[in-house]
Amino acid sequence: MKKHLLMLALASTCFMATQAGAMTKDEYKAAKEKIEADYKSAKAQCDAMKDNAKDVCQKEAKGTEDVAKAELEQQYKPSDAHARKVAEEKVKATYEVAKEKCDDQSGDAKAACVKQAKADEAQGKAEIKAMKKTKTAM
């Protein structure tokens, strides 16, 4: 799961680095269509999988799409609200995938896995809340 968080952080860093100029409406529309096409492609790859691996794959695909859409909104119309939405979508996607991966386990291991996923989600939400308070304090 930490590897997944690292990949999300790297992806968002790379995405933010490309934010140099304002985006036109046509560029926005094209980027949104690409995100949707990427999601459909990723979801189609999941269809070849079975059982929980398929479920995990689908959660990852959906999470990636949701994060990409939030990042696109932030790129198109930068604001504190959109920046928070990006962070919220990342926390949500990470939690959903982690929780789904817990289904591969059973008993105490599964309970511990779910507990850790919830703790990580709570930590992410706390960081977003702190980010919000920092912005209003300025």
Report if residue 19 sits inside a domain.
no
Q: Per-residue pLDDT for 98 more than 90?
A: yes
How many structural domains comprise the chain?
1
Other C-beta atoms closer than 10 Å to the C-beta of 136 total 7
Report if residue 43 sits inside a domain.
yes
Report if residue 98 sits inside a domain.
yes
- Give the global pTM: 0.77
Q: Per-residue pLDDT for 15 more than 80?
A: no
The separation between the first and the last C-alpha atoms of the chain, rounded to the nearest angstrom, is 34
Contact at 8 Å (CB) between 91 and 124? Answer: yes
Report if residue 8 sits inside a domain.
no
Cα angle: 10, vertex 14, 19; to 5 degrees: 145
Annotate 41-71 with three-state secondary structure: HHHHHHCCCCHHHHHHHHHHHHHHHHHHHHH
Report if residue 62 sits inside a domain.
yes
Query: What average pLDDT does the chain have?
Result: 85
Q: Give mean pLDDT, residues 103-128.
A: 93
Q: Give mean pLDDT, residues 110-127.
A: 94
Q: Give mean pLDDT, residues 88-111.
A: 94
Bigger pLDDT: 3 vs 53: 53
Show the domain range for 125. Answer: 25-137
Report if residue 5 sits inside a domain.
no
Distances (CA, A) of 77 to 3, 16, 61, 68, 70: 30, 13, 24, 14, 11
